[in-house]
Amino acid sequence: MSHVETFHQAARQVLLFSLSLLLSACANLSYYAQSMDGQFELMERRQPIDKVMADPATPASLRDHLQLTQDARNFASRVLLLPDNGSYRSYADLGRPFAVWLVVATPPLSVTPRRWCFVFAGCVSYRGYFSEADAQAFAQKLAEANDDVYISGGIAYSTLGWFDDPVLNTMLNRSDSAIAGLLFHELAHQKLYVKDDTAFNEAFAVTIEREGMRRWMELRNDATGFENYLADRQRQDAFYALLAAYRERLAAVYASTLPEQQKLDCKRQLFAELRGAYQSFKAAHDNYAGFDKWMARDLNNAHLALVATYQDLVPGFQHLLATLGGDLTAFYREAERIGKLPEAERETRLLPETLSSGKRTSTAGLSACRGVAAQGFIRYDSTRLSATQEPKSCAH
């Protein structure tokens, strides 16, 4: 089948997919129209990676990155037992820095993100746009309704196996380890995805990404690279711990009986305090500046809404994998079984007493997710984060 025929066949699939969305109870014509247009553009730009690599005009740096993606892609199916399909076998240059823009929103006195529901993906805690202008316009409407909003650029996304997702130019402006980890993460979503449970899905994918990186680096005999990867992940986990600590404090204020105006005053005070705490965080991490741009934003609840969503269940998944001796076949089978449980039971199963009590199972290679924030202003264990000093004016 020719590339043109393949594209037209895929285009028909996209049309059917989009029409099914448009006919759903939660359909929004303009939103799904931009989704369809964005998916069409992405698919039209795809080229087989072997063809791109064979083209003499392809820059050497791009060729090297594409070769890395194929090595990691083969490893993902062969060693990590992730889906062996057409995903990430093609390349698309979108001519922009992000593949999608995600809009996250919360009420002004809540750190719980709003959710939007879709036919195949279920309900998720963000809304994605292929156009930054469209994302900005939607965010503006939410802001006008007094929501806290946050727009984040996404370098990749998954169609969950409905289409053969390509490697995108937006994915390649990263370190080799970050590119490989991203592929493992996105393919994990194709392996297992539970509707309406962002926390479960992201924690599962993060766990596979990190276990995949351990095995990937071991195979490549790159001890230094793995040490750097672990250091990066531990620093990232410590930063998330900082954000989660303030997310927890804000949630406690919002759930208190304080008058609304006092809650708003506390909100401003805690975000100001977070900025000061970040400077202590930097000092404790050799003045690492990688999070400076994020912290320089006008922070609000929406910026913290997904911190727990992406991190809380990771230790539980890691604990499960460790108890199974690293057997991925058994791990996938058990994760799928847990995914079929009611949501409350899923969380209970993934937050066992050994974790909630602060006890940890020592497992070689899993330390990337076991970062401890030891900056003094944070107390951190496996399931709970809290600040040691509560502002008197925000006591509750």
Tens digits of residue pLDDT in 70-84: 999 999 999 999 999
CA-nearest of 171, 176, 185, 186 to 97 is: 171
State how many domains the chain has.
Answer: 1
336 domain-assigned: yes
Q: At what angle do helices 176-191 and 60-78 cross, to 10 degrees?
A: 40
60 domain-assigned: no
Least confident range from 80-89, 177-186, 354-363: namely: 354-363
27 domain-assigned: no
Q: Can you tell me the distance from the alpha carbon of 265 to that of 85, in angstroms, rounded to the nearest whole number?
A: 53
| Number of H-type helices and E-type strands within the chain | 16, 10
228 domain-assigned: yes
- Interval 113-132 mean pLDDT: 83
- 311: exposed, middle or buried (C-beta count within 10 Å: 0-12, 13-18, 19+)? buried
* Residue 82 Cα distances to 75, 186, 379, angstroms: 9, 10, 36
pLDDT in tens, 10-57: 443 444 344 444 444 444 677 777 888 888 888 899 999 999 999 999
Q: Please report, to the nearest 10 degrees, the dihedral formed by the alpha carbons of residues 295, 297, 302, 305 taken in order.
A: -10
Q: Can you tell me the distance from the alpha carbon of 138 to that of 147, in angstroms, rounded to the nearest whole number?
A: 11
Q: Can you tell me the distance from the alpha carbon of 47 to that of 94, in angstroms, rounded to the nearest whole number?
A: 12
Rounded to 5°, angle at Cα 375 from 369 and 378: 75
Give the strand pairing for 378-380 and 385-387: antiparallel
301 domain-assigned: yes
24 domain-assigned: no
Q: Is 396 helix (H, G, I), strand (E, B) or coil?
A: coil
pTM of the predicted structure, to 2 decimals: 0.77
9 domain-assigned: no
Q: Which residues, 6+ apart, have CB-to-CB distance to 61 below 8 Å?
A: none
Domain boundaries, position 355: 224-394
Residue 354 — φ and ψ, nearest 5°? -60, -25
pLDDT in tens, 236-277: 989 999 999 999 999 999 999 999 999 999 999 999 999 999
109 domain-assigned: no
Taking the CB of residue 75, how many other CB atoms lie within 10 A of it? 19
- Residue 156 DSSP class: -
Least confident range from 119-123, 281-285, 320-324: namely: 119-123
pLDDT > 80? residue 143: yes
